Amino acid sequence: MRYDLDDLRLFLHTVTEGSITAGARRMHLSLPSASARLRSLERSVGVALLIRGRRGVRPTPAGTTLTRHAREVLAQTARLESAVASYTRSPTAPLVLLGGGSAMHRLIPNALVSFLRAYPDVDVTVCESRTPRTLRMLADGAADLGVVLDDEARDADVRTEPLGDDSLVVIGQVAGILAGRDELSYDEVAEHPLVGLDDASSYQRWIERHLGSNSPVARYRTRVGSLNALITLAASGVGLAVVPRRALDPDLQLEVCQLRDPWARRHHLLAWGRRDRGSAQALAALADRLRRAQ
């Protein structure tokens, strides 16, 4: 029996997402095409692999077994391709990945850990960059992938896809002044002492650019160089902080309130560059790691 690797990837995406539609989207296929490929896979193995229902799909016992072995096969294939590609890849041409301050905190590091372990012969250059600059570099062929903000990428001349929510929240000490609050405006937040990031942070500049001329002048007790330090200070009660929700460790004890301001609702997009060099398979794998690092 022979298996098509793209069919296995489609099957894994479908099982992971619990939806053929979502699996098709991950593989950049139409729904009819994805459905046909999955049914062809089932016919070739001679057993049902998916239980289809109104709310999505789930694997049959045979599908669960295929899922486990398919992951192993694709991981081995990725290592094989990476090893062979290392003989033709220029060691001076790493993949270039750009992202803003919030993406650099958890999203990109988590994706890199998985990718660099799976591709020991592929290097990645990572730089913090605001969305306008990232889009220019992608369009000019100076970068391979970028994590950008949707509100600044509406007219982007590069390929993009949704990556996840990056809305902002305000955080503070447990049982502190945020206790019992579900949401509040930035003007209310600015009535209290704050802690923030320094002026070199693309994230801090983004916030200040979106504040209106009538917004109150906030009192920052201190400004630091990383979101890790900022969250630690806010958790200790030094001051409130405005941070992306996705940057928060779910195990950290904090009071968290949604920001009511429209500019606080934002989403990340994955943007693709316009250059054709290096391993296309490695680039696709890095993109997939970013999708899964939500």
Q: What are the tens digits of pLDDT across the range 50-105?
A: 999 988 999 999 999 999 999 999 888 888 877 776 565 555 578 999 998 889 88
| Same domain membership, residue 105 and residue 158 | yes
Q: What pLDDT was estimated at residue 78?
A: 81
| Same domain membership, residue 74 and residue 159 | no
Q: Do the domain assignments include residue 20?
A: yes
Q: Could you list the residue range(s) of the whole structural domain that residue 41 is in?
A: 5-85
Q: Do the domain assignments include residue 36?
A: yes
Q: What pLDDT was estimated at residue 214?
A: 81
Q: How confident is the model at residue 154 (pLDDT cuts 50, 70, 90)?
A: confident
**pLDDT tens digits, 130-146:** 899 999 999 988 999 99
pTM of the complete model: 0.63
| Same domain membership, residue 247 and residue 176 | yes
**101: nearest Cα among 135, 127, 67, 65:** 127
| Same domain membership, residue 124 and residue 71 | no
List, as own/partner pairs, every contact residues 203-211 make where C-beta atoms lie below 8 angstroms and the sequence separation is at least 24, other chains included: 203/100, 203/101, 203/102, 203/227, 203/244, 204/101, 205/130, 206/100, 206/101, 206/130, 206/149, 207/168, 207/242, 210/263, 211/186
Q: Do the domain assignments include residue 90?
A: no
Residue 125 has pLDDT above 90, yes or no: yes
Mean pLDDT (the chain) is 89
| Same domain membership, residue 184 and residue 130 | no
Give mean pLDDT, residues 186-197.
Answer: 94
Strand 160-165 relative to strand 145-149: parallel, antiparallel, unpaired? unpaired
| Same domain membership, residue 183 and residue 121 | no
Q: Do the domain assignments include residue 50?
A: yes
- What are the CA-CA distances from residue 112 to residues 18, 91, 171, 195, 281 (Å)? 25, 18, 27, 29, 16
| Same domain membership, residue 156 and residue 102 | yes
Say if CB 49 and CB 42 are below 8 A apart. Answer: yes
| Same domain membership, residue 159 and residue 272 | yes
What's the domain count of the chain? 3
Q: How confident is the model at residue 116 (pLDDT cuts 50, 70, 90)?
A: very high
CATH of the domain at 20: 1.10.10.10
| Same domain membership, residue 283 and residue 234 | no
| Same domain membership, residue 279 and residue 159 | yes
CATH of the domain at 131: 3.40.190.10
Give mean pLDDT, residues 173-198.
Answer: 93
Domain end residue (candidates: 85, 118, 135): 85
| Same domain membership, residue 41 and residue 126 | no
Domain end residue (candidates: 85, 103, 119): 85
Q: How confident is the model at residue 41 (pLDDT cuts 50, 70, 90)?
A: very high
**pLDDT tens digits, 214-273:** 888 889 999 998 888 999 999 999 999 999 988 888 888 999 999 999 999 999 999 999
| Same domain membership, residue 143 and residue 228 | no
Q: What pLDDT was estimated at residue 92?
A: 52
Q: What percent of the chain has pLDDT over 90?
A: 61
Say if CB 161 and CB 229 are below 8 A apart. Answer: no
Q: Do the domain assignments include residue 140?
A: yes
Q: Do the domain assignments include residue 233?
A: yes
